[in-house]
Amino acid sequence: MAMARASSGLAYPERFYAAASYSGFDGSSAVTSKFSNDVALLLYALHQQATVGPCNISKPRGWSPVEQSKWASWHGLGNMASTEAMRLFVKILEEEDPGWYSRVPNGVAEPVTDVEVNTITKVDPIVENGIYAPETKSVYTENGIPSETQDKDVVSEGLGLVAVYDQWIGPSVSGQKPKPRYEHGAAVIGDKMYMYAGNHNGRYLGDIHMLDLRSWSWSKIETKQQDKTTESQSSRSSTACAGHSLIAWGNKLLSIAGHTKDPSDAIQVRELDLLTNIWSTVKTYGKPPVSRGGQSATLVGSTLVIFGGQDAKRALLNDLHILDLETMTWDEFDAVGVPPSPRSDHAAAVHAERYLLIFGGGSHASCFNDLHVLDLQTMEWSRPIQQGQIPTPRAGHAGVTVGENWFIVGGGNNKSGVSETVVLNMSTLVWSVVTTVEGRVPVASEGLSLVVGSYDGEDILVTFGGYNGRYNNEVNVLKPSHKSTLPAKSLEAVPDSVSAMVNPTNATRDVESELEAVQDGIIREITVDDVDQGLKPLRNSKPKGSGGILGTLKAEKEELESLLSKERLTSVKLKQDLSEAEARNTDLYEELQSVRGQLAAEQSRCFKLEVDVAELRQKLQTMESMQKELELLQRQKAASEQAEMMARQRQKNSGGMWTWITGSPPGQTKEEI
């Protein structure tokens, strides 16, 4: 990274206009002659956003490919504020050409101070319309040193120096190191740390590596893909992603969500079986959340609590979802109270298996240092008062818990990198600083991973990777002196923890006094043992006055383990019942389909019968009409016959009269006479 001058310089927007003029947006020179095509497109989009505003013009037909790319790049910025576009324009220019201001025609001379500033511009790849639309966050580390020089606060030695507490150590590792990256995932199973995927130079990675925490040697794991619908396997590389969550679950690794080149509509859950090294997509039930990256995924018992993140369209989220890892069923919860504002790249932890803590994170233009607590029993959000040395705003940091202590490492904001490692006592909500580093070192990076391992029977913090102006692939180790005074999963300690969560100013004096007595007894015995026969492991010490407390806690632990065993048996039985119910549902569905087919055939036959009945009714109506006509004809015939008979009768009667007149007998003719 080239050195830049720390100066007062021009204020915005004059500094932006000077940068735009230097870049050629005043028409003095071609922009593409100074920058690559991707950078030139991004600068054009930011310049339009800063000077014109959001892209409201439609995309007409007949444009050239260049104009289409310019429109897509501008349109991809959405409703970004003009001031933010100006700031990002200048930051990208300073990354591409750190000495640009000194070459601005008629530029204003800047007073130079004796401060070395390493300008770090991080570009997050976000694919929109086939074009990467970077989101830029800047970090400055004053009094920085070249990346090739080891910082004085990070000792690069073997693990013999792990005996030193609260100091970051760069151990000597063997094997082929993974490619430098950030926004990857890491998880520990046994004495092995697994690291998967990430982002390097705007490209998503899909490889997985294993670090042996005993021999401190790297090895790459060759995996295969399996399609559960066809039961087929392929040797193609696993899905490349970044901003995902990697969770250890039994002898498997679960990869939750994450940004990909071709994002899906909903969160995808994939698992790696470490016995077969086969990746497969897990079938889930319920309504899955929208796809995202930069979310937090916190394991609480056998459930996974998902909060926040950023979707594929760069929209920030603050929704809450829970995935039951036993049944792989999604549930969405609407908690009461005021939730954290939409954010990504935050940290989350669980305390006493009941309280979900959310710290920090960032939006598109700012970072946070607020602390929010969700009671997972009442599903109510609260924002307790923080005490002690409250950390500065940050995003991209990492966190792990050791007992009731929550360690936060790395991260950054728009002004400076975060150099201090801090710890929060989740029972009292008091912050304290563990150690501070100077210069551009991996532990002061964004997007690094942090896990808890074990060395010589003690907990150690292990970091890998990150981005601080360059992509890192270094491993750093710290042995914390902060020890847990209560079991992290002791549910009987919840009431006192609740007091601290709801009102941190009202400390639980009774519990604190008991803990002080226990700690005092521990310290006294350690001191005596150290004088007489050397330091003994803490677990073997018997502090004065603590037998009752420890006995109670042990009994409660055994009771909880018994309850847990019963719950597991119940869970197994429920899974069996669920399988049987699914089998019955399959049979019923097939029977339903058969009945539907029969019903369709009956409906067709009924339709034909209705047609026949209609035809018969029509014929019947015709026969009735013909019957009426026949009756009419019969009546007419009868009338005609009757008329004819009457006519004959009249004729017969009229013949007798003439016979009487003529004197002829009836029936005798005239000739006979």
pLDDT in tens, 46-103: 998 889 889 988 876 665 777 888 888 888 888 888 887 888 888 788 777 777 777 7
Could you tell me the two tokens for 376? Answer: 């997972």
Which of 500, 514, 587, 581 lies closest to 545, judged by CA?
Answer: 514
Question: Is the per-residue pLDDT at 122 higher than 90?
Answer: no
CA-to-CA distance for 142 and 154, rounded, in angstroms? 17
666 upstream amide cis, omega within 30 of 0? no
Pairing assessment for the beta strands 278-281 and 224-227 based on DSSP bridges: parallel
Q: What value does the mean pLDDT take over residues 322-331?
A: 96
Give the pLDDT confidence of 400-432 residue by residue, as tens digits: 999 999 999 999 887 767 999 999 999 999 999
What pLDDT is attached to residue 126? Answer: 37
> How far is the C-alpha of 600 from the C-alpha of 235, rounded, in Å?
47
Whether 393 and 446 have beta carbons less than 8 Å apart is answered as no
Question: Residue 155 has what pLDDT?
Answer: 56
Kindly state the average pLDDT of the residues 385-400: 96
Which residue type sits at 299?
A: L
> Mean pLDDT for the chain?
78
pLDDT band at 134 (very low <50, low <70, confident <90, very high): very low
Greatest alpha-carbon pair distance for the chain in Å reads: 188
More confident residue, 119 or 372: 372
Tokens at residue 245, please?
Answer: 């969550």
pLDDT at 108: 39
**What's the pLDDT score for residue 561?**
84
Query: How many Å apart are CA 193 and CA 273, to the nearest integer?
Result: 15
Query: Under a CB-based contact definition with an 8 Å cutoff, are residues 346 and 410 in contact?
Result: no
Tokens representing 401 are: 């818990």
Reference 412, options 440, 393, 389; nearest CA is 393
pLDDT band at 658 (very low <50, low <70, confident <90, very high): low
**Euclidean distance between CA atoms 479 and 454, whole angstroms:** 9
Q: What is the CA radius of gyration of the chain?
A: 43
The predicted structure's pLDDT at residue 178:
97
**Residue (of 351, 356, 386, 375) closest to 484 by Cα position:** 351
Per-residue pLDDT for 633 more than 70?
A: yes
pLDDT higher than 50, residue 566: yes
Give the whole-angstrom CA distance, residue 326 versus residue 567: 12
CA–CA dist 143, 342 (Å, integer):
34
Q: In this structure, what token pair is assigned to residue 223?
A: 């995996």
| Residue 392 backbone phi and psi in degrees, to 5 | -75, 160
For residues 481 and 116, the model is more confident at: 481
**Average pLDDT estimate for 479-505:** 47
Please compute the mean of the pLDDT values over residues 18-27 and round it to a whole number: 81
> For position 247, what pLDDT does the model report?
98
What's the whole-number mean pLDDT along residues 388-396?
Answer: 96
The string of DSSP codes covering 162-218 is: GGSBS-EEE---BSPPPPPBBS-EEEEETTEEEEEEEEETTEEEEEEEEEETTTTEE
Is residue 237 within 8 Å of residue 207, measured between CB atoms? yes
Q: Mind listing the pLDDT tens digit for each residue in 203-259?
A: 999 999 999 999 999 999 999 998 654 556 666 668 999 999 999 999 999 999 999
Residue 416 gets which letter from DSSP?
Answer: -
Which pLDDT tens digit goes with each residue over 184-208?
A: 999 999 999 999 999 998 899 999 9
H or E element, residue 627: helix 547-662
pLDDT at residue 147 greater than cutoff 60:
no
d(CA 294, CA 395): 10
Token pair for 457: 């029977």
pLDDT band at 365 (very low <50, low <70, confident <90, very high): confident
pLDDT of 211 reads 97
Tokens 């993140």, located at residue = 309
Q: How many CA within 13 A on the CB side of residue 478?
A: 27
Better-predicted residue by pLDDT, 137 or 207: 207
Q: What is the mean pLDDT of residues 498-513?
A: 38
At 550, give phi and psi (nearest 5°): -65, -40
Q: How many CB atoms lie within 10 A of CB 355?
A: 22
Q: Which of 238, 140, 141, 122 is nearest to 471 (CA)?
A: 122
pLDDT value for 182? 95
Cβ–Cβ < 8 Å for 246, 299: no
Average pLDDT over every residue of 518-522: 39
Give the tokens for residue 285.
């039930």
pLDDT at 499 exceeding the cut of 60: no
Buried/exposed 357-395: b ≥16 CB within 10 Å, e otherwise: bbbbbbebeebbbbbbbbbbeeeebbebebbeeebbbbb
Sorting pLDDT into bands at 50, 70 and 90, what band is 667?
low
Higher per-residue confidence, 575 vs 305: 305
CA-angle at 250, arms to 246 and 256, nearest 5°: 25
Cα–Cα–Cα angle for 309, 310, 311, rounded to 5 degrees: 125
Global confidence as pTM: 0.56
What whole-number distance in Å separates Cα of residue 546 and Cα of residue 522? Answer: 9
Residue 491 pLDDT more than 80? no
Token pair of 625 as six digits: 């009409």
Mean pLDDT of 480-496: 49
**Residue 75, exposed/middle/buried by CB under 10 A (0-12, 13-18, 19+)?**
buried
Contact 454, 486 (CB under 8 A): no
DSSP 311: -
Distance between CA atoms of residues 262 and 130, nearest Å = 9
Contact indicator for 49, 82 with CB cutoff of 8 Å: yes
Residue 550 pLDDT: 74
Please give the residue that has the higher pLDDT: either 603 or 210: 210
